[in-house]
Protein backbone atom coordinates (compact mmCIF):
# COMPACT_ATOMS: atom_id res chain seq x y z
CA UNK A 1 0.00 0.00 0.00
CA UNK A 2 1.57 3.31 -1.02
CA UNK A 3 2.32 5.93 1.60
CA UNK A 4 0.03 8.90 1.60
CA UNK A 5 0.80 12.26 3.04
CA UNK A 6 -1.91 14.23 4.78
CA UNK A 7 -2.14 17.88 4.06
CA UNK A 8 -3.76 20.42 6.30
CA UNK A 9 -7.04 21.82 5.09
CA UNK A 10 -6.82 25.25 3.48
CA UNK A 11 -8.85 26.76 6.35
CA UNK A 12 -6.14 25.84 8.91
CA UNK A 13 -3.34 27.19 6.68
CA UNK A 14 -5.04 30.57 6.43
CA UNK A 15 -5.41 30.72 10.18
CA UNK A 16 -1.66 29.99 10.62
CA UNK A 17 -0.67 32.69 8.16
CA UNK A 18 -3.02 35.34 9.49
CA UNK A 19 -1.12 38.41 10.50
CA UNK A 20 -3.29 41.09 11.98
CA UNK A 21 -2.54 44.77 12.53
CA UNK A 22 -1.73 44.35 16.24
CA UNK A 23 1.04 41.83 15.48
CA UNK A 24 2.54 44.15 12.89
CA UNK A 25 2.46 47.08 15.31
CA UNK A 26 4.21 45.10 18.07
CA UNK A 27 6.85 43.80 15.64
CA UNK A 28 7.58 47.34 14.37
CA UNK A 29 7.82 48.71 17.92
CA UNK A 30 10.29 45.94 18.83
CA UNK A 31 12.54 46.74 15.87
CA UNK A 32 12.50 50.46 16.71
CA UNK A 33 13.45 49.69 20.32
CA UNK A 34 16.38 47.53 19.20
CA UNK A 35 17.53 50.23 16.79
CA UNK A 36 17.39 52.92 19.45
CA UNK A 37 19.42 50.82 21.89
CA UNK A 38 22.19 50.42 19.28
CA UNK A 39 22.57 54.21 18.93
CA UNK A 40 23.83 54.45 22.52
CA UNK A 41 26.89 52.26 21.75
CA UNK A 42 30.15 53.64 20.39
CA UNK A 43 30.38 53.48 16.62
CA UNK A 44 32.36 50.52 15.31
CA UNK A 45 35.34 50.94 13.02
CA UNK A 46 34.47 50.10 9.46
CA UNK A 47 38.01 48.85 8.82
CA UNK A 48 40.06 47.17 11.53
CA UNK A 49 43.33 48.84 12.49
CA UNK A 50 45.27 45.81 11.18
CA UNK A 51 44.65 47.02 7.64
CA UNK A 52 46.39 50.30 8.41
CA UNK A 53 49.64 48.50 9.15
CA UNK A 54 49.57 46.25 6.08
CA UNK A 55 51.08 47.45 2.83
CA UNK A 56 48.64 49.05 0.45
CA UNK A 57 49.08 48.78 -3.31
CA UNK A 58 49.72 52.35 -4.44
CA UNK A 59 50.71 51.49 -8.01
CA UNK A 60 48.65 53.03 -10.82
CA UNK A 61 45.99 50.92 -12.53
CA UNK A 62 47.50 48.40 -14.94
CA UNK A 63 50.93 48.56 -13.27
CA UNK A 64 52.10 45.59 -11.22
CA UNK A 65 53.14 46.01 -7.59
CA UNK A 66 56.46 44.75 -6.29
CA UNK A 67 56.33 41.36 -4.58
CA UNK A 68 58.43 39.81 -1.82
CA UNK A 69 60.34 37.23 -3.88
CA UNK A 70 63.52 38.19 -5.76
CA UNK A 71 66.25 36.79 -7.99
CA UNK A 72 69.78 38.26 -7.86
CA UNK A 73 68.39 41.57 -6.55
CA UNK A 74 65.50 41.82 -9.04
CA UNK A 75 62.19 41.66 -7.19
CA UNK A 76 59.41 39.78 -8.96
CA UNK A 77 55.99 41.41 -9.28
CA UNK A 78 53.26 40.40 -6.87
CA UNK A 79 51.54 37.33 -8.31
CA UNK A 80 54.72 35.57 -9.48
CA UNK A 81 56.00 32.70 -7.36
CA UNK A 82 59.47 31.09 -7.50
CA UNK A 83 59.25 27.60 -8.96
CA UNK A 84 62.93 26.71 -9.41
CA UNK A 85 66.23 28.04 -8.08
CA UNK A 86 69.70 27.19 -9.38
CA UNK A 87 73.15 28.64 -8.77
CA UNK A 88 72.91 31.00 -11.75
CA UNK A 89 69.17 31.07 -12.57
CA UNK A 90 65.80 31.55 -10.89
CA UNK A 91 62.44 30.81 -12.49
CA UNK A 92 59.09 32.17 -11.32
CA UNK A 93 55.59 31.84 -12.76
CA UNK A 94 52.12 33.23 -12.23
CA UNK A 95 48.87 34.27 -13.88
CA UNK A 96 49.74 37.75 -15.06
CA UNK A 97 49.52 39.43 -18.50
CA UNK A 98 52.72 39.29 -20.56
CA UNK A 99 52.69 43.01 -21.39
CA UNK A 100 52.33 44.02 -17.72
CA UNK A 101 55.23 41.80 -16.64
CA UNK A 102 57.45 43.08 -19.49
CA UNK A 103 56.71 46.69 -18.51
CA UNK A 104 57.44 45.84 -14.86
CA UNK A 105 60.86 44.36 -15.78
CA UNK A 106 61.65 47.19 -18.23
CA UNK A 107 61.22 49.71 -15.39
CA UNK A 108 63.78 47.87 -13.23
CA UNK A 109 66.61 47.08 -15.67
CA UNK A 110 68.81 49.02 -18.09
CA UNK A 111 69.56 47.39 -21.44
CA UNK A 112 69.90 48.30 -25.08
CA UNK A 113 69.21 44.78 -26.31
CA UNK A 114 65.59 43.63 -25.99
CA UNK A 115 64.23 40.85 -28.21
CA UNK A 116 60.45 41.06 -28.35
CA UNK A 117 58.00 38.56 -29.80
CA UNK A 118 54.32 37.69 -29.38
CA UNK A 119 55.00 34.96 -26.79
CA UNK A 120 58.42 35.87 -25.38
CA UNK A 121 60.52 38.91 -24.49
CA UNK A 122 64.23 38.66 -23.62
CA UNK A 123 66.26 41.40 -21.91
CA UNK A 124 69.86 40.57 -22.90
CA UNK A 125 72.90 41.83 -21.00
CA UNK A 126 70.75 43.94 -18.66
CA UNK A 127 71.98 45.69 -15.55
CA UNK A 128 69.76 46.12 -12.52
CA UNK A 129 68.87 49.68 -11.59
CA UNK A 130 69.07 48.63 -7.93
CA UNK A 131 72.57 47.08 -8.41
CA UNK A 132 74.38 48.37 -11.52
CA UNK A 133 77.25 45.89 -11.04
CA UNK A 134 74.87 42.94 -11.50
CA UNK A 135 74.36 41.77 -15.10
CA UNK A 136 71.37 39.54 -15.82
CA UNK A 137 69.40 38.07 -18.69
CA UNK A 138 65.64 38.11 -18.14
CA UNK A 139 63.26 35.99 -20.22
CA UNK A 140 59.50 36.58 -19.96
CA UNK A 141 57.59 33.75 -21.67
CA UNK A 142 53.92 32.86 -22.04
CA UNK A 143 53.60 29.20 -20.98
CA UNK A 144 49.79 28.91 -20.96
CA UNK A 145 46.87 31.04 -22.03
CA UNK A 146 47.02 33.12 -18.86
CA UNK A 147 50.31 32.03 -17.27
CA UNK A 148 53.69 33.74 -17.60
CA UNK A 149 57.14 32.46 -16.64
CA UNK A 150 60.05 34.76 -15.81
CA UNK A 151 63.58 33.33 -15.81
CA UNK A 152 66.42 35.47 -14.49
CA UNK A 153 69.98 34.31 -15.27
CA UNK A 154 72.99 35.83 -13.53
CA UNK A 155 75.51 36.85 -16.22
CA UNK A 156 77.82 38.82 -13.95
CA UNK A 157 81.46 37.92 -14.80
CA UNK A 158 83.15 35.81 -12.15
CA UNK A 159 86.34 37.08 -10.58
CA UNK A 160 89.50 35.59 -12.07
CA UNK A 161 91.03 32.57 -10.39
CA UNK A 162 93.89 32.96 -7.96
CA UNK A 163 97.04 34.10 -9.74
CA UNK A 164 99.97 31.73 -9.92
CA UNK A 165 97.97 28.48 -9.82
CA UNK A 166 98.40 25.90 -12.53
CA UNK A 167 95.35 24.48 -14.31
CA UNK A 168 95.73 21.23 -12.35
CA UNK A 169 95.77 23.12 -9.02
CA UNK A 170 92.66 25.09 -10.02
CA UNK A 171 90.82 21.82 -10.79
CA UNK A 172 91.95 20.35 -7.48
CA UNK A 173 90.63 23.42 -5.62
CA UNK A 174 87.32 22.87 -7.39
CA UNK A 175 87.35 19.24 -6.15
CA UNK A 176 87.86 17.59 -9.56
CA UNK A 177 90.82 15.40 -10.51
CA UNK A 178 92.69 15.36 -13.84
CA UNK A 179 90.45 12.55 -15.10
CA UNK A 180 87.28 14.61 -14.48
CA UNK A 181 86.15 12.58 -11.47
CA UNK A 182 85.18 14.14 -8.18
CA UNK A 183 88.00 13.93 -5.66
CA UNK A 184 87.43 12.23 -2.29
CA UNK A 185 86.61 14.54 0.52
CA UNK A 186 89.21 14.42 3.25
CA UNK A 187 87.87 14.52 6.83
CA UNK A 188 89.78 16.99 8.93
E-strand stretches of 28-119: 66-71, 74-77, 81-85, 89-94, 109-110, 113-116
How many other C-beta atoms are found inside a 10 Å radius of the C-beta of residue 42? 5
Q: Over pLDDT 70: what percentage of the chain? A: 62
Going by C-alpha positions, the residue among 79, 97, 82 that lies closest to residue 142 is 97
Interval 11-42: pLDDT, tens: 555 555 555 566 666 666 666 666 655 555 55
Euclidean distance between CA atoms 75 and 91, whole angstroms: 12
Q: Look at 102 and 161; give whichever has higher pLDDT.
A: 102
Interval 128-139: pLDDT, tens: 999 999 999 999
The mean of the pLDDT values for the chain is: 77
Euclidean distance between CA atoms 96 and 181, whole angstroms: 44
Euclidean distance between CA atoms 88 and 171, whole angstroms: 20
Amino acid sequence: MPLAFRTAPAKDARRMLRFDGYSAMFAFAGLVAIGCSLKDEEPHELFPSTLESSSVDTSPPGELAEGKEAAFGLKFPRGLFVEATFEDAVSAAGSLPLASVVNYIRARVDTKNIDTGPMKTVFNHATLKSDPKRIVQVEVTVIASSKVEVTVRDRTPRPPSAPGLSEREQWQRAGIGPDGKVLREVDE
